[in-house]
Amino acid sequence: MSDTRDTARPDPGALLKLAAGEGRGKLTIFLGAAPGVGKTFAMLSRAQQRKATGADIVVGLAETHGRGETARLLDGLEVLPRRKAKHSGKVYDDFDLNAALTRRPAIVIVDELAHSNDVDARHPKRYQDVAELIDAGIDVWTALNVQHLESQADLVARITGVPVRETVPDVVLQRADDIVLVDLPPAELIQRLKEGKVYLPENAMRAADQFFRLENLTALRELALRRTANQVDDQMADIWRQQALEGPWVTGERLLVCVGPDALSERVVRSASRMALGLNARWIVVALARSADPIMDADRAARLEATLLLAEQLGGEVRRVVADDFVAEIGRITRRENITQVIIGRPRRAPLVNMFRRSLPDVLAGTLDGIGVYLVSDTAGVQRKTRGFRKRSAPEWMVNLGLPLATAGGITLLGLGLSRVLVLQNLSILYLLAVLVSAILAGRFAALLTAGLSFLAYNFFFIEPVRTFTVARPHEVLALVIFVTVAVATGTLASRLREQIERARQAVRSTQSLYDFSRRLSAAYGVDGALTATTAQLNTMLGLPAVALTSEDGGTLEMRVAWPPDQALDEAAMSAARWAHDKREPAGYRTGTLPTVSYLFMPIQSGQRMAGVAGMKLGATHGPLSPDAERQVSAILEQAAIAIDRARLVRENAKAAVAQEGEKLQAALLSSLSHDLRTPLASITGAITSLRQLGDRMDADTRADLLASVEEETARLTRFVGNLFDMTRIESGLIKPRREPVDLAALISGAVDRMARSDPRLEIETSTQDAMPPALADPGLLEQVLFNIFDNARKYAGTDKPLSVYLRRDGAEAVINVTDQGNGIPAEDLEMIFEKFHRRAKGDGRPAGTGLGLSIARGFVTAMGGTIRAESPAMRKRGTRFVIRLPLAEAKAQ
């Protein structure tokens, strides 16, 4: 049997999770079953130990609650100053997030993770402050009681009879890097309470009677131990997956949770969360809806959104499903996702309803083979919340009651009038007309009410014996039953058609709105035009003031456009806008960041690129956006991001075109400059001639110095003009090199001789690999390339150390290495030295040149079909090596 240990690979998901934590701070939670077990004491004790080892640890907030032994542990620890906070008219000291971010210690202690901040704080909850510290790379130690976990809040309330007001999403605990369980037996905790070590004496007796009872503390202790065990198990599983170790686990449970807009769904989600934690299982929350369902009112839509948000906070995966057959759709999901248990709420229903119609939980229990169905029963409390009709406005009630009375009464009066002059056999047809009118104008409830009223009126006024609710003839009973059945069916279908028409109208309005917005965006010019169209569309669609902010080239975020134009943002609103831009998440009104700001800011981003931020002024009178409005706003911002990216690309292309034109102008300027430099060349040549002719009037030393100086400057100007011409030829594409077999060793020798004539002080050492075949190159261009490299080394590396040239073969290429022993070139400049007019420094005390030599060298080598690059350091942290590669002639022949 082969050994599979070598082929085992780490789990990619586990490695990605490990990589995601790089650069972030670590979260350590001291978890306890109840107040008084010693969480803060344990934190500060551990802090003293780390302080003694030299760790940079500070106390951002530590609540001692008057306990002397805990307060003494603060001695010697750095304590950050607190900020002044207000609550219910009282001023108290609270944690200062900005002070912690400014100090940036390695570790900061922030007690009471479940605490709520005041309205002036950046975040409404302290766990969000902790999240920002962790994102900033600061390790955080904090304390938490198990009762404050969101999934345990209602369970703890039932156990202890005390409601839990402060909660923390379970995902905070799940993402903790380390959990320290601070445990104390219930009997010892009760004894500490009696001794006044938990609460002050005036509060201790009340706590002992309400919360600190043996059975309550034992249950809470069990919850804390279970959560800690689950967390340790998850961490161990991550280690196994990261290191590709064979673990003893088997395939776990998978839960499917079905929810809707009813109040019972919240209990279903909390129960499913506890079950998932107990089973260490993945769980999926599905919001079920039918395509023919009526449009949800604002209250039901908001309740559904709150339920789904709660599920996400508790660690569930949220999905929305639209299907006409719930049972078939749930079965399909269970098969696709390998679901082992389905959790669904079972509301209380009237006995008569249960007799004639089976509930969805009952159908699932009899349909899903091999899958457990867990029912969460309704309670009296939930039932009272959902009992009765949904709240309607006064005009809606008037329509739903008045229209059935009017239509049924009108048809009755019409029938009574017609029956005096005509014998009517099918008067029930007229009542069906009333049902249809009510269904079309008011909906299903009005249609059913009209059918009931029509049934009574038809029976009372037109079926013998009249003016009674009795039926004398058997066939009239059958006719009455058929009438009621047809009326109910007709009213239901008509009302459903009305609702579908209304949905279609809304879809058409949304589509038309987006289409109009797309047309305006396509006609908008530049970034400002796109932002103006975006804010105008948001203002038209929502009826709210809108603003747009952008940050150009990484600068400060500034408001660019507002609609109406008279909008202004205060400092708090700008802080929320900057947060939305930097964190790429909504901020402001009723979000997790600066919720008291009247503006809701949402990022405008395309892929991974931030285009800006859009803000809508909601205020206290408007309330949060509905789910449909959020989807429309998201669609608008996505289109706006694409338009802004397009505008910026157009601007960048325009800049590139201008730069290209500038390069063409530069080439023309160089060409003109090279022509103008021929005049001083002619002057220098004439001066040399004059000096030679008048040499008898000067002493020998003066003549020699003048001649040497003029000749040197002439050679320098000649090289300058040649470089200008060569660069112009390269950029214009006029260089057409001859690619012929060249003896590189002889060519290198010629370039060395040329350099010796230019500057005899520079020593060049050459070496060649044996049996070196010829290479394909242009001899004149290649000699100029080598000369430019030698001249560059002379200027920047000096002439006191020799320059080495080594020719070798590498496969089908010839390689020429030119190495100097200068100070070298920084890594960031290795490519820049080949750019035109780039000069790093002065070399030999005179001007370093035009910065064209190496640029010309690369242009010539590239034209010959070769490559050139620079390497530094070349030897012992010094020197620069230029590597030229050219194809061999024999490789081309093959």
User: Which of 109-113, 337-341, 712-716 bottoms out in mean pLDDT, i.e. has the lowest?
Assistant: 712-716
CA distance 491 to 436: 6
Predicted confidence (pLDDT) per residue in 342-387, tens digit: 998 887 665 544 545 567 787 887 778 778 888 888 754 444 443 3
Residue 451 has pLDDT above 50, yes or no: yes
User: Which of 30-44, 302-316, 829-843 bottoms out in mean pLDDT, i.e. has the lowest?
Assistant: 829-843
Q: What is the pLDDT of residue 350?
A: 52
Residue 247 has pLDDT above 60, yes or no: no
**Which comes out higher in pLDDT, residue 250 or 235?**
235
| Residue 405 neighbours by CB distance under 10 Å | 12
For the segment 415-434, the average pLDDT, to the nearest whole number, is 71
**Which comes out higher in pLDDT, residue 660 or 780?**
780
**Which comes out higher in pLDDT, residue 284 or 323?**
284
Q: What is the pLDDT of residue 581?
A: 86
Residue 17 has pLDDT above 60, yes or no: no
Distances (CA, A) of 327 to 288, 522, 581: 11, 46, 43
**Which comes out higher in pLDDT, residue 355 or 777?**
777
Question: What's the token pair of residue 754?
Answer: 């040329």
Strand ranges (E), 700-834: 740-742, 764-768, 775-777, 803-810, 813-819
Residue 1: pLDDT band with limits 50, 70, 90: very low
Domains of the chain, first to last? 12-242 (3.40.50.300), 254-386 (3.40.50.620), 394-500 (no CATH), 524-652 (3.30.450.40), 736-893 (3.30.565.10)
Can you say whether the dihedral through the CA atoms of 643, 649, 654, 655 is positive or negative? positive
Residue 851: pLDDT band with limits 50, 70, 90: low
Residue 3 has pLDDT above 60, yes or no: no
Give the rounded percent of residues in the chain with a pLDDT score beyond 70.
72
* DSSP assignment letter at 118: P
What is the β-pairing status of strands 341-346 and 254-259? parallel
Residue 40 has pLDDT above 80, yes or no: yes
Predicted confidence (pLDDT) per residue in 796-809, tens digit: 888 788 899 999 99
For the segment 655-680, the average pLDDT, to the nearest whole number, is 60
For the segment 390-411, the average pLDDT, to the nearest whole number, is 66
Amino acid present at 622: H
**Which comes out higher in pLDDT, residue 407 or 241?**
407
Residue 519 has pLDDT above 80, yes or no: no
Q: What is the pLDDT of residue 372?
A: 85
Residue 846: pLDDT band with limits 50, 70, 90: very low
Amino acid present at 767: S
* DSSP assignment letter at 610: E
For the segment 98-122, the average pLDDT, to the nearest whole number, is 89
pTM of the entire structure? 0.53
Residue 675: pLDDT band with limits 50, 70, 90: very low
Nearest residue to 835 (alpha-carbon basis) of 855, 853, 863, 849: 855
User: Which of 95-99, 114-118, 281-285, 416-420 bottoms out in mean pLDDT, i.e. has the lowest?
Assistant: 416-420
The pLDDT mean for the chain works out to 77
Spatial neighbors of 350 by CB under 8 A, at least 6 apart, are none
Predicted confidence (pLDDT) per residue in 212-224, tens digit: 778 778 888 888 8
Q: What is the pLDDT of residue 109?
A: 94
For the segment 454-461, the average pLDDT, to the nearest whole number, is 76
For the segment 571-593, the average pLDDT, to the nearest whole number, is 86
Q: What is the pLDDT of residue 381?
A: 43
Could you give the 3-state DSSP secondary structure of residue 520? helix
Predicted confidence (pLDDT) per residue in 61-89, tens digit: 998 877 888 888 999 899 999 888 876 66
Residue 852 has pLDDT above 50, yes or no: yes
Nearest 5 degrees, angle CA 707-CA 709-CA 710? 65
Question: What's the token pair of residue 116?
Answer: 């709520």
| Residue 709 neighbours by CB distance under 10 Å | 12
Q: What is the pLDDT of residue 253?
A: 76
User: Which of 116-125, 600-609, 689-698, 768-777 bottoms out in mean pLDDT, i.e. has the lowest?
Assistant: 689-698
Q: Under a CB-based contact definition with an 8 Å cutoff, are residues 729 and 767 in contact? A: no
CA distance 672 to 452: 100
Q: What is the pLDDT of residue 248?
A: 42
Distances (CA, A) of 359 to 331, 452, 489: 16, 25, 21
